[in-house]
Structure 1
Amino acid sequence: MKLAICGGTGFIGSHLSEYWAKQGHEVIIVTRKASDHHPESIKYVTWDDLNSNPHPLESLDAIVNLAGESLNQRWTKDTKSKIRQSRLDSVHRLGDILDRLTNKPKVVVQSSAVGIYGTSRKDTYNEYSEVASIDFLSDVCVQWENAALQRFNNTRLVLVRTGVVLGSKGAYPLMQLPYKLGVGGPIGDGEQWVSWIHMNDMVKLIDYAVRTPDISGPVNATSPHPVANRDFGKTIGRVLHRPHWFPVPSFMLKTMLGEMSILILEGQKAVPDKAQECGFQFDYPRLDDAIRQLKNS
């Protein structure tokens, strides 16, 4: 297959490009600045190159758009604007390029997030749940998805709503660090939900969505077994043989992180009903196995 990834040098994109390259596919990474050091099996092209000549993206089997400013920084007014605008800009920029193609991609896989559901301690959200702009993250995600629905309306579109992705980089190393230091414990009251997915399943799910014509619209990229923060921490401690005892007060995180603390102190219970209805099988559906694999990798 001929496949392209916008944001292919990032946390998820780098794993996805490696996975597809190993399968022998033609992989194109769309990035802001091309690297001189990359595998020969992967082609790099810049956004500016494509603005001048979109031909490299002709006749794609799929294009995956993962581009966007990181959420993992203090949410100042300026930063929040960059987070929102970078996501919208990537959609419209890609839409402008695809509009000029003679043979458009068979499917567009657009990144989104489970933050679109807002936060709740009691509700469970699947792909058929209603969404609304009730806080910063949900508002960004609603605008993000609406832009994709507008710009990619002439092909199959999959909106991958991602939870916390567990891998050797990203959030997980920071989440396990207190336990390695012997001071792990619940964050806040520990009752907030963590909707998570192992990186291997994240990559496989995107690949499955590309290969499965019946999948379109929102897809929750989360394990079928979300857990409360308290249980998430207990699992890390159990697998790493470290204590789970030292609570982190909410006010401390709010002081340190500001509004961004909502990523840790609040959450939502999102489940992947659509993926399972379409036959997707998780390699790591349960947290114990996911943490154990990361420990041994």
Structure 2
Amino acid sequence: MQILITGGTGLIGSALVRLWQAEHKLLILSRTGRKSANSNIHYINALSEVDFNTIDVVVNLAGEPIAKRRWSEKQKNLICQSRWQLTEALSKLISQASTPPKLLISGSATGYYGRQGNTEITEEYDAFFPEFTHDICAKWENLAMQASSDKTRVALLRTGIVLAEDGGALAKMLPPFKLALGGVMGDGTQYMSWIHLDDMVNLINFIMQHDDISGPVNAVAPRPVTNKVFTAELAKRIKRPAVLPMPAFMASLLFGEMADILLYGQRVVPQKLLKAGFTFRYPQLSQALAALTL
């Protein structure tokens, strides 16, 4: 198949390229003008270089990292527009094609649900807390769904915290933990919905192969944990104590509005994937952390 990947040089995108490079022809949208010695990989600088009549699948993962820096109004606008503008352009080009891609897999996040306390959240859950993370994801998803037709299936990845050896959330968490400065955030009862990188790319591949999966897909492991449990498991894995909690007010002082991501979570479960028969390699947090070189 011929697959277009946006965000193909990011954490998830790079792992997808490694998974697919031997089997599929990959077009990767990149701003850096890269080249590849692999004849199956071709980097492009703009969507105008793509003939969407020849593309089988589009995987849309591009966007400014949400936790890259403090959320000033300028940064919040960059986070939004980097997702919305590209997704809108993709949907328009897909819709205009006479033989469009059969599938668009487009990024989103568990932030769509907003803060939800201890309520277990499946894809059928239709309530949300109105805050910035929801606003980003809701419009992002709506723009992606504009590509949906009888010719094009659309799946929306509501992704949790992706656990990987290089990059992602752990890259930010590990330094203080390794210095024995890690600890519980707030009261520690907020849930963290996470997934190992291997399961993340495997479920994307699974969606590509199963025509019955469409709409929102909770891209998380089946067993979310509280921040208190996550902290204890990570400390145990790297053999460091985690005894210095960060009170909610301190998190708010350090991170501003972005602290809401850390202090209020969601207990999200992947009901749609489990019903479709997807098997997680790392369903337990301890398994996922043990599989990583930290």
TM-score w.r.t. the length of structure 2 is 0.94
What is the DSSP-based 3-state SS (H/G/I as helix, E as strand, rest coil) of the residue aligned with 2:168?
coil
| CA drift at 1:39 | 4.0
| CA drift at 1:10 | 1.2
The answer for the alignment partner of 2:194 in structure 1 is 196
The answer for the alignment partner of 1:67 in structure 2 is 62
Give, in whole Å, the separation in 1 of the partners of 2:288 and 2:37.
29
1:139 to 135, 139, 150: 135
Contact 1:195 1:227 in 2 (8 A): yes
Give, in whole Å, the separation in 1 of the partners of 2:248 and 2:255.
11
| CA drift at 1:90 | 1.1
Give, in whole Å, the separation in 1 of the partners of 2:163 and 2:230.
12
| Letter of the structure 1 residue corresponding to residue 249 of structure 2 | F
The answer for the alignment partner of 2:41 in structure 1 is 42
Give, in whole Å, the separation in 2 of the partners of 1:138 and 1:82.
16
Task: Determine whether 1:91 maps to 2:99.
Answer: no
What is the DSSP-based 3-state SS (H/G/I as helix, E as strand, rest coil) of the residue aligned with 2:250?
helix
Give, in whole Å, the separation in 1 of the partners of 2:63 and 2:169.
16
The answer for the alignment partner of 2:251 in structure 1 is 253
What is the DSSP-based 3-state SS (H/G/I as helix, E as strand, rest coil) of the residue aligned with 2:292?
helix
The answer for the alignment partner of 2:148 in structure 1 is 152
What is the DSSP-based 3-state SS (H/G/I as helix, E as strand, rest coil) of the residue aligned with 1:255?
helix
Give, in whole Å, the separation in 2 of the partners of 1:278 and 1:215.
8
What is the DSSP-based 3-state SS (H/G/I as helix, E as strand, rest coil) of the residue aligned with 1:105?
coil
Contact 2:63 2:79 in 1 (8 A): yes
Percent identity of equivalent pairs: 39
Comparing 76-85 and 188-197, the one that deviates more: 76-85
**Residues 17-28 of structure 1: pairs in structure 2 closer than 5 A:** 17-22=17-22, 24-28=23-27
| CA drift at 1:38 | 6.0
The answer for the alignment partner of 1:2 in structure 2 is 2
What is the DSSP-based 3-state SS (H/G/I as helix, E as strand, rest coil) of the residue aligned with 1:171?
helix
Contact 1:132 1:139 in 2 (8 A): no
What is the DSSP-based 3-state SS (H/G/I as helix, E as strand, rest coil) of the residue aligned with 1:220?
strand
| CA drift at 1:294 | 0.8
May I ask how many residue pairs the two structures share in their alignment? 291
| CA drift at 1:82 | 1.6
What is the DSSP-based 3-state SS (H/G/I as helix, E as strand, rest coil) of the residue aligned with 1:58?
helix
Comparing 78-87 and 34-43, the one that deviates more: 34-43
What is the DSSP-based 3-state SS (H/G/I as helix, E as strand, rest coil) of the residue aligned with 1:75?
coil
The answer for the alignment partner of 2:280 in structure 1 is 282
Contact 1:182 1:242 in 2 (8 A): yes
Contact 1:116 1:131 in 2 (8 A): no
TM-score w.r.t. the length of structure 1 is 0.93
Give, in whole Å, the separation in 2 of the partners of 1:121 and 1:146.
25
Task: Determine whether 1:11 maps to 2:6.
Answer: no
Give, in whole Å, the separation in 2 of the partners of 1:182 and 1:54.
49
Alpha-carbon displacement from aligned partner over 1:208-236 (angstroms, at most 9, x marks no partner): 00111111111000000000001001001
Contact 1:133 1:139 in 2 (8 A): no
Root-mean-square deviation over aligned CA pairs? 1.6
**Residues 176-255 of structure 1: pairs in structure 2 closer than 5 A:** 176-255=174-253
What is the DSSP-based 3-state SS (H/G/I as helix, E as strand, rest coil) of the residue aligned with 1:244?
coil
Give, in whole Å, the separation in 2 of the partners of 1:259 and 1:2.
40
